[in-house]
Amino acid sequence: MNDCTSLNDYGNLFRLDGKRAVVIGAGGIGHEVVRGLAAHGAHVICVDRDAGTAAEAAEAVGGEALTLDVTDAAAVHDAAAALGEVDVLVLTAAMNVRKRILDYTTEEFRQVTRLNLEATFTVLQAFGRGMVERGTGSIVVFSSIRGLVVEPGQSVYAATKAGAIGLVKTAAVEFGEDGVRVNAIAPGVVETPLTSQIKADEQWYAAYAQKGALGRWARPSELVGAVVYLASDAASFVTGSTLMVDGGWTAVDGRFTPPT
């Protein structure tokens, strides 16, 4: 990229031709991310703890499938070494236990932090090392609006998602001089199997829809553009950022619309 970019080059800003992309968490939002990256020319390696999920995502785009538990640090480092050159790394894997602080168990705390925070660190370390050595790469970590705003029952999840943003910023600073960009995406409420508990409660579902400026939930496909942008040369000077894809959730001050 330079100041003499031609109009033809601008037309290819979002292309990922010849890039090898790894998507960790290939179900739900991750499945749509796989399709979006492939549509822009990337060869995608679909990674998931569930072999069937990884295989299904890979089959949809002619990519590769890899079964991996990202809470197993040694396995993550082995996978990063075995995969070799990776240009784009997207991490979507996460979990939540929705309980108030006084009701949380130590084991539940450990489960959530192990996947959402410890595994994020492991992935950044394992895949970031190779990118730094090659002097190029883009890493995209899925955080959440809960990394910035909270509600009852979201203590540990919110803490891990805020922690993920902190890790992203630090990795961006540490990897940046070697040409590696690291960014986060913070979705709002998204229609996925993981939000089925909320969707099953009409009042709860409606309240969440009304919270955002657009007055509705997101579809998984609506997260794809942000990933492609951050993965591509269109975001060549973007690093250490958290891109809000929340339908205006964090822009709205409460749910009351006053008369004007």
pLDDT digits (tens, 9 = 90+) for 34-74: 999 999 999 999 999 999 999 999 999 999 999 999 999 99
- 14-243 carries CATH number 3.50.50.60: no
Confidence check: pLDDT of 6 > 70: no
In the chain, the largest separation of any two C-alpha atoms, in whole Å, equals: 61
When pLDDT is cut at 50, 70 and 90, the band that residue 192 belongs to is confident
Confidence check: pLDDT of 16 > 80: yes
Confidence check: pLDDT of 201 > 80: yes
Question: Which residues are designated catalytic?
Answer: 157
When pLDDT is cut at 50, 70 and 90, the band that residue 7 belongs to is low
Q: Please state the pTM of the whole predicted model.
A: 0.93
Cβ distance 222 to 245 under 8 Å? Answer: yes
Confidence check: pLDDT of 224 > 80: yes
Confidence check: pLDDT of 258 > 80: no
Mean pLDDT over the full length of the chain: 94
What is the rounded average pLDDT of the residues 87-116?
Answer: 97
How is residue 258 written in tokens? Answer: 């006053």
What is the rounded average pLDDT of the residues 19-31?
Answer: 97
What is the rounded average pLDDT of the residues 80-97?
Answer: 96
What is the rounded average pLDDT of the residues 218-240?
Answer: 97
Higher-pLDDT residue of 222 and 5 is 222
Percent of the chain with pLDDT over 90: 88
What is the rounded average pLDDT of the residues 154-168?
Answer: 98
